[in-house]
Structure 1
Amino acid sequence: MTPILEATTLAAGETREARAFLKRRSFNARELMAQRFPPIQELVPGVIATGLVMLVAAPKIGKSWMCLDLDYQASIGGRAFGCIGISQRPTMYLALEDGPRRLQNRMNKLGITKPPATMQFITTLGEMNLLDTIRMFFTSNTGNNPLIILDTLGKVKGMAARVTGENDFERDYRLMTAFKDAVDEVDGATLLVVHHTRKAFSGDFLDTVSGTNGIAGAADTILKIDRQRNSTDGILQVTSRDAAEGEYAMRFDSDTGLWTLTGGSLSEAADAAREAHQTKNVGDLMGDVIHAVNNHPEGVQAWKVAEEIGDVTPEKVAVYLNRAANSNRLSRPSRGVFAPPEKTVNV
């Protein structure tokens, strides 16, 4: 099978042809399979693909702090979440819940003292048409992977007049589809829409997005921040049509407003998020036992865990290991051997 070619291996003419094909509304299967498409572009490699992105969280959790720092890092080609390098691009922040004074105060707190002129703000739309404003910025920056952050959806949702006979789902989906159509017109563009979660608990985080399923249904990527109000620790959940899904542990520094990935990398943050789930609502000793086992993806026995923890007998550790395995916090690949959950081990 011929491998998919990277964008750098496509000639300019081939790239133009592939991008033109992406805008076609109809084609046959033979035409489709003859195409060599450039790879999907990403705003934050490994986390956020370009396109229509939603960032949701409860009020006053730190969404706007995350967005403002991400906006700045994108405008200078810096590092998202403190460690992931991203490419430079023009940005526009529709900060519709903030004014110039608050934005300046937040930028000072984030340590942004010399921002580039390509980092633009709009705090009120006035007579401007929202979709026209979005399209104009994207098309005027074609080829430069522009980024727009809309903070928040609630400030503009009322602008979408209800069509006669239209229910709430249809209205929400129509609005979000209009956003998606606008961002899809320019290859490499990203529209990040900030929104709130509902209070009701749900096992699937997509069901916590406030409003009808029409809001989440049109998005390419959805990000959700979970953080207890008095805690610095949070979890970033990601689901996407095109990028890898995952959960990542993060820390919010209220003194600086910065969100950073725990451990300084995606893999470390993913491991920390998994361990946060494993140790939720457990005591200190159980937490220590689980942490010790997570350091041994190949599998480990009770005596070794007891040795690493110290001041506890292998017999007592074995009791906790079996409890953790019985509650699916750990796996038991073979008799007397314990490993992180969903890990293949060889013993």
Structure 2
Amino acid sequence: MTTPATNPFDANDHNDIAAIYYGLHDRLDDHGHAVVNVVSVTKDWASVTPADIESTPDDAGPADMDEARRMAVLVDHIDGCDPETSILLWLDAETGAPMLAQIAGPDHDGGIAKRIIGRDIGAEPPAEPEPTDLQKSVADLTASLTRKPEPANDNRQAASTFLNAADLLGMDFPPVKYTLPGYVAEGLTILGGRPKLGKSWLALGACVAVATGGDFLGKEVEQGDAFYLALEDNARRLQDRLRTVLPAGASAPDMSRLSFLTEAPRIDAGLLSALDEWRKRVDDPRLVVIDTLAMVRPAKKRTQDSYEADYAALSPLQKWAGEHRLALVVVTHVRKMEAQDPLEMISGTNGLTGAADSIMVLNRDQDGSKLYGRGRDIEEVEKALRFDKGVWTALGDVADVKRSDQRQKIIDAMRDANLPMGPADIAKATGIKVDSVRHLLPKLVAAGEVEKLAYGTYRVPEAA
């Protein structure tokens, strides 16, 4: 990349700088070869890491030149590169020159990723092919054959599109079907998570639970037919994974109700027909998993902004799942930056989460692995999970598990001290807030794990 003839920072206009960054974002996003986000960098450019990057609200510009100088474009999940590879693109404040730096992923991917970015910035997005004469003729014939005649009374047609509230209240609707009770209901669910965290193992576990009428994260699942589109795997790897999660020998369950595909057309090029073919062939279709969205989403049209493209990508799947009253789970990636609301971690715009009926995020932090879910027909859920030999297990609600950990820390500290301790002493020894200690001690006493002594002190019973 070459230095521009003029330095955009010389004009001292933060809005101009923002326009350049969002222009770079849109150009890269239009090509569809990577996941692109405008971000803010909190550290010196020479030593920046993924931990020094903060997300910015959609289309929110900088407040001043200081914020403009911290802007950058983060490019990751680049075609042909390792999922961990991330490239940062920014404008040098001294010269205005565009700069590229690899901040994550294997070194050998850096050159490939930078060439893709440079090519996409310097080239116009590929134009949509013009339909052939035959395609135009078939489209015209289809339109003429399916066009409904205009009604003689326009009011009659308009009236049929409205629903009277009294009629609505008198209607009977079947109850919502919960394919994975407590987690996934009928409709479209997005499952997001970082690469290599175990999303695919979780998705496979859900399919196995449905196909065998087994257990999913501590909940019994009604048996039915499941369809797993493992589009980033092959048959050998799928076989290895099944052998990992299933018991061996005669105790292995019948897996005939679980179907697989490792290749599938995109959403706008025949995917729904493939899903319908499976749905009509099986007895009780209940769950479809598409792993991952990137493998089936349509290319962004030049007339669409990012929100429209994201919403349009998932809308056909949401409509199909709703019409046939089954659960469809789409696996996707999350941003590298943490967010206060887990739903904001889903990679892309709010168009993805807006089109879905439910959203689930698999995440890991200093407290361990957890699954967060929220949706139109499920209650908000946040479960602590454990992963072992290909199987995810629910440990309980995150708050309860964290509280259990604190209780154990209190017992361990009192046992180590081998002396009566007050709440302040316990708080100092464990690092737990003294108010939390005071809240937990009565529960420990009631459970018989701690004895209360005189003068507000406690100890662990000798037999404990």
Asked if Structure 1 and Structure 2 have the same fold, meaning a TM-score greater than 0.5 normalized by the shorter chain, the answer is yes
Q: What is the CA-CA distance between 1:248 and the residue it aligns to? A: 0.7
Identity %: 29
In the superposition, relative to structure 1, how do residues 194 and 108 fare at CA in structure 2: closer, same or farther (>3 Å)?
same
Q: Where does residue 196 of structure 1 map in the other structure?
A: 333
Instruction: Give the letter aligned to residue 201 of structure 1.
Output: E
Cα distance 1:190–1:285, how it changes in 2: closer, same or farther (>3 A)? Answer: closer
Counterpart for residue 150 of structure 1: 290
Q: What is the 5 A alignment of 1:296-307?
A: none
- The one-letter code of the counterpart of 2:292 is T
**Partner amino acid for 2:391?**
L
- Cα RMSD, aligned residues only: 3.5
CA contact 1:72–1:115 (8 Å) conserved in 2: no
1:134 maps to which residue? 275
Partner of 1:125: 264
C-alpha contact 2:213 2:223 (8 A) present in aligned 1: yes
User: How far off is 1:32 after superposition?
Assistant: 0.9
- 1:170/1:56 Cα in 2 relative to 1: closer, same or farther (>3 Å)? same
> Pairwise mapping of residues 166-245 of structure 1 onto structure 2 (< 5 A)?
166-187=304-325, 189-227=326-364, 233-245=368-380
1:55 and 1:185, CA in 2 relative to 1: closer, same or farther beyond 3 A? same
- The structure 1 residue matched to 2:188, chosen from 27, 52, 68, is 52
* Deviations 1:227-282, CA, capped at 9 Å, x for gaps: 25xx99411111111111121111100xx2000111xxxxxx01xx1155569xxx
Question: Hey, what's the Cα distance between the residues in 2 that align with 1:285 and 1:337?
Answer: 14
Q: How big is the shift at 1:311?
A: 3.9
Aligned equivalents of 2:229, 2:432: Cα separation in 1 = 50
Give, as a single letter, the amino acid of the residue that structure 2 aligns with 1:288: K
Matches within 5 A, 1:23-102: 26-81=162-217, 83-102=218-237
State the Cα distance separating 1:316 from its structure 2 match: 3.3
1:133-156 CA-to-partner distances (Å, cap 9, x unmatched) read: 1233335558x2421110001111
Once the two structures are superposed, residues 63-95 of structure 1 have per-residue CA deviations (whole angstroms, 9 ceiling, x without a partner) of 1111112111100111112x3110111111101
CA distance in 1, matches of 2:330, 2:296: 11
- Aligned residue for 1:185, secondary structure, equals helix
Instruction: Tell me if structure 1 keeps the 8 A contact 2:292–2:331.
Output: yes
Distance 1:233 1:243 in 2: 24
Q: Distance in 2 between matches of 1:245 and 1:126?
A: 33
Structure 1: unaligned runs, 5 residues or longer: 1-23, 263-268, 293-304, 340-347
User: Does residue 288 in structure 1 map to residue 288 in structure 2?
Assistant: no
Rounded Cα–Cα distance in structure 2 between residues aligned with 1:111 and 1:25: 51
Equivalent of residue 314 in structure 1, options 419, 422, 430: 422
Shift of 1:116: 2.5
State the shift of 1:52 in Å.
0.5
Q: How many residues align?
A: 278
The 3 A distance-change label for structure 1 pair 250 and 315 is closer
Tell me the residue number matched to 2:399.
Answer: 274
Kindly name which structure, 1 or 2, has the bigger radius of gyration based on alpha carbons.
2
SS at match of 1:107: helix
In 2, Cα distance between equivalents of 1:196 and 1:97 = 13
One-letter amino acid of the structure 1 residue matched with residue 275 of structure 2: I
Aligned-partner residue type, residue 390 of structure 2:
G
The 1:163–1:28 alpha-carbon spacing in structure 2 relative to 1, beyond 3 Å, is farther
Q: Secondary structure, in 3 states, of the residue corresponding to 2:264?
A: coil
**Change in CA separation of 1:252 and 1:322 when aligned onto 2, cut-off 3 Å:** closer
